């Protein structure tokens, strides 16, 4: 764990409002956090803008420095309620003589930790690490930053218990009951904190971080949910953005409801059109079927068997929902995940004779999907940021349709949507992303990305005026920069180092799909 203060939780709730800004006087060496367009000054900020970051070696990554940054619980009413701590990190430019500024990076999710990511980032792109101080952070409620609690480990496992494909009245009611319980427990255990877990609050934390670094403009890199975070930051603080790379884009100009409704189709597409043909190509290795259709039949038969007879691995119960979760998690990156997923799927077909190594791999695969801590950030942010339909009948009907057409992710749609249906109405401001006042922004996306589907990225590109979209054709990895694609890396490096942007939208071919290690020997 890196250095962090313990959060203090107040008893009374504090309501948020749409209007406010974050401008006030600061010490001379620090650039002032600015108000978004149309906002006015808000009082009571000097204790935040006047703080000094106490940089120390990070406990989890000695190559980085970490510090604890104090932020207001509610930027729209600073000083009301207990403060929060946001843990921040930095990697100093390795060539100070050629240092050109600060590159802030963020993590996806919402709910993933970004604190130690600058270390891997500069290792993968040393030229960028030489030119920039690369800084990161754990978003409020994530990792080492102040966070609350929604579920115990047992309650989290129960949330995913059973079979989301079961559309019987009792099963549907069980899903609704668990979603309602999640919301109740989250508010009971975390108090009013969950009201202030929004992208709008997070980007104001980011701008305070920028100010405490003493710079007026930052460059930015963010993948997945961090594209939403970056687009909101650029909209609210365009005067503080020098360059921005948004990698694997959500439709950040829309609502979370619209964004998530596209995922069942895109995950199913990635699974059926990319992964299943790949595992079938290596039937001699995995023995899972020599055609995509045969491989899908094997997978479906195993899912049905797990419905009737779940497998126990240590403290984990592996049923149909867990097979879905491990499979969809494996769709994100072919090089890093497909061989492992395929090996686990193959092991399940001879589980009684599986080797200790195969059992360890399976335990790891089924234990890596999300966590109670991730859910305690993911749901508050996605339910708070933008409105959701409160019509449960609509969600029951829609999820039934998606379960039939796109079962890999469509089956769990009701559990996720119902959580936001039961979530209290949020006072988070609506942010309209347009690109006004921004320099050219670079966007990256593959055509078969399962989580940040291409159709949504194209819509976001059209909304973000002045942006350039780099499309990786023929592939479906999630995250394009530093992913082994030299074409993408050249475009991004030229942009970050020299400000060079493509004259028009561009394309890069995908890299070859992986060859299983056992096939190479």
Q: CA 290 to CA 268: how far, in whole Å?
A: 20
Q: CA 171 to CA 166: how far, in whole Å?
A: 6
What does each C-alpha distance from 7 to 10, 11, 146, 147, 200 come to in angstroms?
10, 13, 5, 7, 20
Share of the chain above pLDDT 70, in %: 91
Could you tell me if 221 and 247 lie in one domain?
Answer: yes
Q: CA 192 to CA 15: how far, in whole Å?
A: 9
Q: CA 480 to CA 468: how far, in whole Å?
A: 15
For residue 232 the two structure tokens come to 């909101």
Does the residue 117 lie in any domain? yes
Q: In the prediction, which pLDDT does 518 show?
A: 76
Could you tell me if 122 and 170 lie in one domain?
Answer: no
Does the residue 488 lie in any domain? yes
For residue 514 the two structure tokens come to 């992986």
Instruction: Render pLDDT for 493-503 as a digit per residue (tens, 0 to 9).
Output: 999 999 999 99
Could you tell me if 211 and 287 lie in one domain?
Answer: no
Does the residue 11 lie in any domain? no
Could you tell me if 173 and 113 lie in one domain?
Answer: no
Q: In the prediction, which pLDDT does 520 show?
A: 57
Could you tell me if 437 and 398 lie in one domain?
Answer: no
Instruction: Render pLDDT for 391-408 as a digit per residue (tens, 0 to 9).
Output: 999 999 999 999 999 999
Torsion sign over Cα 163, 164, 169, 174: positive
Domain of 302? 152-177+255-369+379-428
Whether the pLDDT of residue 42 is over 80: the answer is no
Q: CA 95 to CA 131: how far, in whole Å?
A: 6
Q: In the prediction, which pLDDT does 92 show?
A: 98
Instruction: With cut-offs at 50, 70 and 90, classify the pLDDT of residue 80.
Output: confident
Does the residue 407 lie in any domain? yes
Could you tell me if 169 and 232 lie in one domain?
Answer: no
Q: In the prediction, which pLDDT does 24 show?
A: 30
Mean pLDDT of all residues in 417-433: 96
Q: In the prediction, which pLDDT does 367 show?
A: 87
Write the CATH number for 481.
3.40.50.1820
Q: Report how many domains make up the chain.
A: 2
Could you tell me if 306 and 163 lie in one domain?
Answer: yes
Whether the pLDDT of residue 445 is over 90: the answer is yes
Does the residue 28 lie in any domain? no
Could you tell me if 262 and 241 lie in one domain?
Answer: no
- 202: part of which helix (H) or strand (E)? helix 199-212
Could you tell me if 228 and 143 lie in one domain?
Answer: yes
Does the residue 25 lie in any domain? no
Q: In the prediction, which pLDDT does 43 show?
A: 58
Could you tell me if 268 and 410 lie in one domain?
Answer: yes
Does the residue 34 lie in any domain? no
Instruction: Render pLDDT for 256-295 as a digit per residue (tens, 0 to 9).
Output: 999 999 999 999 999 999 999 999 999 999 999 999 999 9
Q: In the prediction, which pLDDT does 467 show?
A: 98
Could you tell me if 438 and 514 lie in one domain?
Answer: yes
Mean pLDDT of all residues in 13-42: 38
Instruction: Render pLDDT for 125-177 as a digit per residue (tens, 0 to 9).
Output: 999 999 999 999 999 999 999 999 999 999 999 999 999 999 999 999 999 99
Mean pLDDT of all residues in 184-206: 97
CA angle 232–237–240, rounded 5-degree value: 125
Whether the pLDDT of residue 3 is over 90: the answer is no
Could you tell me if 202 and 84 lie in one domain?
Answer: yes
Does the residue 336 lie in any domain? yes
Strand segments (E) across 36-115:
56-57, 65-71, 84-91, 101-105
């Amino acid at each position: 764990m890196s250095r962090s203060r313990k959060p203090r939780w107040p008893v009374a709730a504090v309501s948020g409002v749409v209007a406010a800004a974050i401008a006030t006087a600061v010490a001379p060496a620090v650039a002032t956090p600015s108000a978004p367009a149309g906002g006015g000054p808000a009082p009571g900020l000097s204790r935040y803008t006047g703080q000094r970051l106490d940089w120390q070696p990070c406990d989890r990554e000695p190559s980085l420095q970490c510090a604890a940054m104090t932020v207001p619980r509610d930027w729209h009413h600073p000083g009301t309620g207990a403060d929060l701590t946001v843990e921040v990190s930095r990697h100093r430019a390795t060539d100070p003589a050629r240092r050109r500024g600060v590159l802030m990076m963020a993590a996806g999710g919402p709910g993933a930790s970004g604190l130690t990511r600058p270390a891997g980032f500069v290792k993968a792109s040393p030229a960028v690490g030489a030119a920039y101080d690369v800084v990161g952070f754990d978003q409020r409620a994530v990792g080492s930053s102040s966070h609350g609690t929604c579920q115990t480990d047992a309650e989290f496992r129960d949330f995913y218990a059973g079979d989301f494909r079961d559309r019987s009245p009792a099963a549907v009611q069980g899903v609704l009951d668990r979603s309602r319980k999640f919301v109740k427990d989250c508010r009971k255990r975390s108090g009013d904190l969950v009201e202030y877990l929004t992208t709008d609050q997070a980007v104001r934390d980011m701008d305070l971080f920028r100010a405490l670094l003493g710079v007026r403009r930052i460059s930015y890199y963010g993948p997945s949910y961090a594209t939403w975070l970056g687009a909101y930051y650029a909209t609210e603080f365009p005067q503080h953005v020098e360059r921005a790379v948004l990698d694997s884009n959500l439709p950040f100009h829309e609502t979370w409801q619209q964004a998530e409704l596209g995922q069942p189709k895109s995950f199913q597409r990635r699974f059926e059109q990319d992964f299943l043909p790949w595992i079938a190509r290596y039937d001699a290795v995995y023995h899972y079927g020599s055609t995509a259709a045969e491989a899908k039949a094997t997978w479906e038969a195993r899912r049905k068997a797990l419905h009737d007879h779940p497998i126990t691995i240590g403290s984990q119960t592996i049923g149909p929902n867990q097979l879905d979760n491990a499979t969809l998690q494996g769709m994100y990156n072919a090089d890093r995940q497909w061989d492992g997923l395929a090996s686990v799927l193959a092991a399940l077909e001879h589980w009684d004779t599986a080797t200790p190594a195969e059992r360890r791999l399976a335990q790891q695969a089924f234990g890596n999907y999300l966590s109670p801590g991730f859910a305690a950030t993911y749901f508050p942010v996605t339910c708070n940021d933008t409105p959701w339909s409160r019509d449960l009948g609509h969600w029951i009907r829609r999820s039934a349709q998606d379960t039939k057409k796109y079962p890999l992710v469509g089956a769990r749609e009701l559990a996720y949507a119902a959580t936001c249906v039961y979530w209290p109405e949020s006072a988070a401001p609506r942010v309209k992303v347009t690109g006004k006042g921004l320099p050219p922004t670079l966007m990256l996306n593959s055509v078969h990305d399962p989580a940040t589907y291409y159709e949504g990225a194209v819509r976001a590109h059209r909304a973000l005026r002045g942006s350039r979209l780099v499309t990786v054709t023929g592939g479906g990895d999630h995250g394009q920069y530093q992913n082994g694609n030299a074409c993408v890396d050249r475009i991004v490096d030229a942009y970050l180092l020299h400000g060079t942007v493509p004259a028009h939208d561009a394309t890069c071919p995908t890299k070859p799909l992986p060859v299983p290690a056992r096939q190479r020997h």
